Structure 1
Amino acid sequence: MEESVIEEPAPPPAQGEEEHLSLALVNSAMAMPGGHTADRLGTPAQTNRWLTERGLAPVDAGMLDMCASQLRSLREQIRSLFAARAAGLPALPAAVTAINDAMTRVPTAPLLQWDDKNGPYRATPHPTTQIVDHALAALAADAADLLTSPEAERLTACGSPPCNRYLLRQGRRQWCSTRCGDRARAARAYARRTQSGKTT
C-alpha cells in the first residue's frame, strides 16, 4: 500500500531566502508545532518541483531517489554550517568538505568519452545527473558566498521553537514568519500569566 504524503501549506519565505538559494534549501525541512515535520524534498517529485521553482531544473528533469537524497544530504551539511556560524562555533570539517566537493563536482567542459566502435568524442554526463550536480554546485556556492559575506553576521535561527528555519535578521526581528512571531509572543504572554498566577 502506498503511503500518502500530506503537504503542509508552506510558510512565506524567511527573510533572505529569495536572495540566497542555500537559505531556502536549509528551510525546505521544517519542524512544525505538535511534533510534525514538513520536507519539501521528501520525494523525487517534490525535489524536482522545489528545484524547478528556483530555476535549478526543468519540469521534466526526472529526479530519482538518489537525486533527492543528494540534495537532502547537502541541505544537512549547509544547515550545520549555518548553525555553527549563527552560534559562533567551529564548523564541522565534513560539512566544509561537502560544500567544496559540491562546488568542484561540475565539469567545466564536456568530458572525453571513448566508444570502441566510433572512437573518441566529447559529451556531458547523464542529463539528470548533470542537472543535479549543477544544482548542488549552485547551492553550495551560494552557501559559501553567504557564509563569507557581511550578511553572515545577520544569519540566525528562528527564535520560535519548534521552528528550525534560518533567516537573515533585519533589525530586531528574530522570527522567520509572522506565524512564528505570533507563536513566540503568545508563549511569552502565557509564561507571564502563569508566572504572575504563581506569585499571588
Structure 2
Amino acid sequence: MSELLTTESVLPPVPGAADYLALDFVNSAIALPGGRFVDLLGTPATTNQWLAERGLAPANAGVQEMCAAQLRSLREHLRALFAARVSGLPALPAALSAVNDALSGAPTAALLYWDEKHGPYRSAPCPTNEILDRALATLAANAADLLTGPDADRLTPCGSAPCNRFLLCHGRRHWCSTRCGDRARAARAYARRTQSKPR
C-alpha cells in the first residue's frame, strides 16, 4: 500500500505559497527530474487529503473521481492564466470562463447564527454536496486575488528545468526550492565547462 504524498514529501512549498493557496494548488502537479511526475490530486484519496490539509474539506469528505477531475481541470485553467500573466499574453477565454464559473458556483456570504452559549457568530453553511463548489470558489478567488493584486508582478515560473512550479520571486531568486536552485547552478556550471573545452 503506497502512502499518500504531500507537497512537502516531494518539494518544499514555494515562496508565496503561505500567502496564496492558489500557488499551492497550481503546483500540486509537479514535474521532477528523470521524467518523473507527481500529481497530488491524481486520485480521489490524494485529492481528499490535499483539500483536508488546507481546510477546504473534512478528512472524511469521500471525494469521488468526478470531483477530483473538476479540481484538476480548474488547476490547468489557473496554470494557463498564470502562464499568460507571466508571459504578458492574453488569457485564454476558456480559462477565464472556468475561473468565473468557479467563483460564482458557491455562495460567499457567511450567514448569521446564534449559539445559546456564545451568542451570535457568522459562518458559511457547507452541506456535503457543496464542499466541492466551495473549494473551487475559494481557490479561484485566491488565484484572482493574486493575479489582480500587487504581488502579480512577482509571479514567475521556476527557472530550473524540468520544474513546472510557479512562485513569487524575491530579488534575484527565481527557483522554487534550494534543490531546484542547486540543479540550475550545476547545469550552468556544466554548460560553461563544456563550452570552454577545446575541440
TM-score bin, normalised by smaller chain = 0.7 to 0.9
CA-CA distance at 1:6 after TM superposition: 8.4
Structure 1 residue runs of 5 or longer lacking an equivalent are 110-124
Aligned to 1:135: 135
Distance in 2, Cα, partners of 1:29 & 1:105: 24
Structure 1 residues 178 and 135: alpha-carbon distance in aligned structure 2, compared to 1, 3 A threshold? same
Higher Cα radius of gyration:
1
Structure 1 residues 86 and 92: alpha-carbon distance in aligned structure 2, compared to 1, 3 A threshold? same
Aligned to 2:177: 177
Once the two structures are aligned, what percentage of the paired residues are identical? 65
Distance in 1, Cα, partners of 2:126 & 2:142: 24
Contact 1:44 1:65 in 2 (8 A): yes
Distance in 1, Cα, partners of 2:95 & 2:184: 31
SS of 1:150's equivalent in the other structure is coil
Contact 1:63 1:128 in 2 (8 A): no
User: How many residues were matched structurally?
Assistant: 183
Contact 2:31 2:162 in 1 (8 A): yes
Q: Deviations over 1:37-95 (max 9, x none)?
A: 00000001100110111111111111000110010000000000000001111110110
Aligned to 2:14: 14
Contact 2:4 2:46 in 1 (8 A): no
Distance in 2, Cα, partners of 1:35 & 1:127: 41
Say whether 1:91 aligns with 2:91. yes
Aligned to 1:166: 166
Q: Structure 1 length as normaliser, TM-score?
A: 0.86
Contact 2:103 2:137 in 1 (8 A): yes
Distance in 2, Cα, partners of 1:85 & 1:108: 26
Structure 1 residues 65 and 169: alpha-carbon distance in aligned structure 2, compared to 1, 3 A threshold? same
Measured on the aligned residues, the alpha-carbon RMSD in Å equals: 2.1
Say whether 1:144 aligns with 2:144. yes
Q: Aligned runs of 1:1-200 on 2, under 5 Å?
A: 7=5, 9-107=9-107, 127-197=127-197, 199=198
Contact 2:52 2:59 in 1 (8 A): yes
CA-CA distance at 1:126 after TM superposition: 9.2
